[in-house]
Amino acid sequence: MRLPVTALVLLIILLSGPAVMGESGSGQIVVGARVAPHVRWEVRDEPVRLEITPADIARGFIEVPVARLQVQTNDEAGFIVATAVSGDQFASGALMGLDEPIAIGAGGGFLHLPFRGTSVMDAELRWRLPLSERSKAGSYPWPLRVTVHPIGRQNP
Protein backbone atom coordinates (compact mmCIF):
# COMPACT_ATOMS: atom_id res chain seq x y z
CA MET A 1 0.00 0.00 0.00
CA ARG A 2 1.44 3.38 -1.02
CA LEU A 3 0.87 6.49 1.05
CA PRO A 4 0.36 9.69 -0.86
CA VAL A 5 3.27 12.15 -0.60
CA THR A 6 1.21 14.59 1.49
CA ALA A 7 0.42 11.91 4.06
CA LEU A 8 4.10 10.90 4.21
CA VAL A 9 5.22 14.51 4.80
CA LEU A 10 2.56 14.94 7.52
CA LEU A 11 3.73 11.73 9.22
CA ILE A 12 7.36 12.94 9.24
CA ILE A 13 6.33 16.31 10.74
CA LEU A 14 4.30 14.64 13.48
CA LEU A 15 7.06 12.19 14.38
CA SER A 16 9.82 14.79 14.44
CA GLY A 17 8.17 16.63 17.30
CA PRO A 18 8.96 20.03 18.73
CA ALA A 19 12.03 20.83 16.60
CA VAL A 20 9.91 21.08 13.44
CA MET A 21 7.04 22.83 15.22
CA GLY A 22 9.30 25.73 16.26
CA GLU A 23 9.61 24.84 19.94
CA SER A 24 12.97 24.82 21.62
CA GLY A 25 14.45 22.19 23.86
CA SER A 26 17.71 20.68 24.91
CA GLY A 27 19.10 17.22 25.06
CA GLN A 28 22.29 15.33 25.51
CA ILE A 29 23.88 12.84 23.19
CA VAL A 30 26.70 10.66 24.48
CA VAL A 31 29.11 9.38 21.86
CA GLY A 32 31.80 6.80 22.54
CA ALA A 33 34.35 4.99 20.46
CA ARG A 34 36.66 2.01 20.89
CA VAL A 35 39.89 1.94 18.99
CA ALA A 36 40.95 -1.56 18.02
CA PRO A 37 44.36 -2.55 19.34
CA HIS A 38 47.03 -2.49 16.68
CA VAL A 39 50.76 -2.83 16.47
CA ARG A 40 53.20 -1.50 13.91
CA TRP A 41 56.58 -3.18 13.76
CA GLU A 42 59.64 -3.57 11.61
CA VAL A 43 62.75 -5.74 11.73
CA ARG A 44 65.66 -3.80 10.24
CA ASP A 45 69.17 -4.75 9.20
CA GLU A 46 68.35 -8.46 9.21
CA PRO A 47 70.74 -10.49 7.06
CA VAL A 48 69.56 -12.52 4.10
CA ARG A 49 72.04 -15.32 4.74
CA LEU A 50 73.72 -16.86 7.76
CA GLU A 51 77.43 -17.68 7.53
CA ILE A 52 78.66 -20.55 9.71
CA THR A 53 82.43 -20.79 10.06
CA PRO A 54 84.62 -23.68 11.25
CA ALA A 55 85.29 -21.59 14.39
CA ASP A 56 81.51 -21.45 15.08
CA ILE A 57 81.32 -25.25 14.79
CA ALA A 58 84.30 -25.70 17.13
CA ARG A 59 82.65 -23.31 19.65
CA GLY A 60 79.31 -25.16 19.34
CA PHE A 61 77.14 -22.08 18.71
CA ILE A 62 76.83 -18.98 16.59
CA GLU A 63 75.87 -15.53 17.87
CA VAL A 64 74.44 -13.03 15.39
CA PRO A 65 74.15 -9.38 16.60
CA VAL A 66 72.76 -7.68 13.54
CA ALA A 67 69.02 -6.94 13.60
CA ARG A 68 66.94 -4.09 15.05
CA LEU A 69 63.31 -4.38 16.11
CA GLN A 70 61.11 -1.28 16.18
CA VAL A 71 57.60 -1.54 17.68
CA GLN A 72 54.81 0.96 18.27
CA THR A 73 51.39 0.00 19.64
CA ASN A 74 48.28 1.53 21.14
CA ASP A 75 47.44 -1.66 23.07
CA GLU A 76 47.64 -0.89 26.80
CA ALA A 77 47.95 -4.62 27.46
CA GLY A 78 51.30 -4.60 25.65
CA PHE A 79 52.33 -6.87 22.81
CA ILE A 80 53.82 -10.27 22.07
CA VAL A 81 57.15 -10.80 20.31
CA ALA A 82 57.27 -14.26 18.75
CA THR A 83 60.24 -15.93 17.11
CA ALA A 84 60.94 -19.18 15.31
CA VAL A 85 63.95 -20.92 13.81
CA SER A 86 63.88 -23.20 10.77
CA GLY A 87 66.29 -25.53 9.05
CA ASP A 88 68.23 -28.64 10.00
CA GLN A 89 71.17 -26.66 11.37
CA PHE A 90 69.37 -25.53 14.53
CA ALA A 91 67.17 -27.29 17.07
CA SER A 92 66.89 -24.38 19.49
CA GLY A 93 68.26 -20.97 20.32
CA ALA A 94 67.70 -17.70 22.16
CA LEU A 95 66.70 -14.21 21.06
CA MET A 96 68.33 -11.55 23.23
CA GLY A 97 68.10 -7.78 23.41
CA LEU A 98 64.57 -7.40 24.82
CA ASP A 99 63.47 -7.19 28.48
CA GLU A 100 64.53 -10.83 28.86
CA PRO A 101 65.78 -13.55 26.48
CA ILE A 102 63.27 -15.58 24.49
CA ALA A 103 64.07 -19.31 24.48
CA ILE A 104 63.43 -20.73 21.02
CA GLY A 105 62.46 -24.41 20.86
CA ALA A 106 60.88 -26.62 18.23
CA GLY A 107 57.63 -24.61 18.44
CA GLY A 108 59.36 -21.22 18.54
CA GLY A 109 59.26 -18.84 21.47
CA PHE A 110 57.44 -15.72 22.64
CA LEU A 111 57.64 -12.91 25.17
CA HIS A 112 54.97 -10.50 26.44
CA LEU A 113 56.27 -6.93 26.61
CA PRO A 114 54.45 -4.14 28.47
CA PHE A 115 52.84 -1.07 26.92
CA ARG A 116 55.37 1.77 26.74
CA GLY A 117 53.12 4.60 25.66
CA THR A 118 52.99 5.71 22.08
CA SER A 119 56.76 6.05 21.69
CA VAL A 120 58.63 3.60 19.48
CA MET A 121 60.45 0.74 21.21
CA ASP A 122 63.79 0.26 19.48
CA ALA A 123 65.82 -2.83 20.42
CA GLU A 124 69.03 -4.29 19.07
CA LEU A 125 68.49 -8.03 18.73
CA ARG A 126 71.06 -10.80 19.01
CA TRP A 127 70.50 -14.47 18.30
CA ARG A 128 72.47 -17.25 19.92
CA LEU A 129 72.02 -20.55 18.16
CA PRO A 130 73.57 -23.82 19.34
CA LEU A 131 74.84 -25.85 16.40
CA SER A 132 73.70 -29.45 16.02
CA GLU A 133 75.88 -32.45 15.23
CA ARG A 134 74.80 -32.11 11.60
CA SER A 135 76.03 -28.52 11.33
CA LYS A 136 78.55 -27.78 8.62
CA ALA A 137 80.41 -24.62 7.76
CA GLY A 138 78.84 -22.70 4.91
CA SER A 139 76.34 -20.08 3.82
CA TYR A 140 72.65 -20.76 4.57
CA PRO A 141 69.32 -18.96 4.04
CA TRP A 142 68.42 -16.81 7.05
CA PRO A 143 66.69 -19.26 9.46
CA LEU A 144 65.14 -16.84 11.97
CA ARG A 145 61.77 -15.14 11.92
CA VAL A 146 60.43 -12.49 14.31
CA THR A 147 56.80 -11.30 14.41
CA VAL A 148 54.96 -8.91 16.74
CA HIS A 149 51.28 -9.17 17.73
CA PRO A 150 48.89 -7.02 19.78
CA ILE A 151 47.34 -8.74 22.75
CA GLY A 152 43.96 -7.25 21.90
CA ARG A 153 42.38 -7.00 25.34
CA GLN A 154 39.70 -4.33 25.51
CA ASN A 155 39.56 -2.18 28.64
CA PRO A 156 36.05 -1.77 30.11
Residue 28 backbone phi and psi in degrees, to 5: -135, 135
Model-level pTM?
0.69
CB atoms within 10 A of CB 14: 10
DSSP codes joined into one string, 52-95: E-HHHHHHTEEEEEEEEEEEEE--TT-EEEEEEE-STT-S-EEE
> What three-state secondary structure class fits 15?
helix
Q: What is the pLDDT of residues 70-120, one digit of tens each?
A: 999 888 888 999 998 887 777 788 999 998 999 988 788 999 998 877 778
- Bridge-based pairing of strands 61-73 and 39-44 is antiparallel
SS3 10: helix
Q: How far apart are CA 24 and CA 74, in angstroms?
A: 42
With a CB cutoff of 8 Å and minimum separation 6, the contacts of 39 are: 71, 72, 73, 75, 79, 148, 149, 150
Bridge partner list, 121: 71
Domain ranges of the chain: 39-150
Let me know: does 59 contact 39? Beta carbons within 8 Å: no
SS3 142: coil
Question: Residues of the chain with pLDDT > 70: what percent?
Answer: 80
- Average of pLDDT values for 37-45? 88
Q: What is the pLDDT of residue 5?
A: 53
39-150 adopts what CATH topology?
A: Immunoglobulin-like (2.60.40)
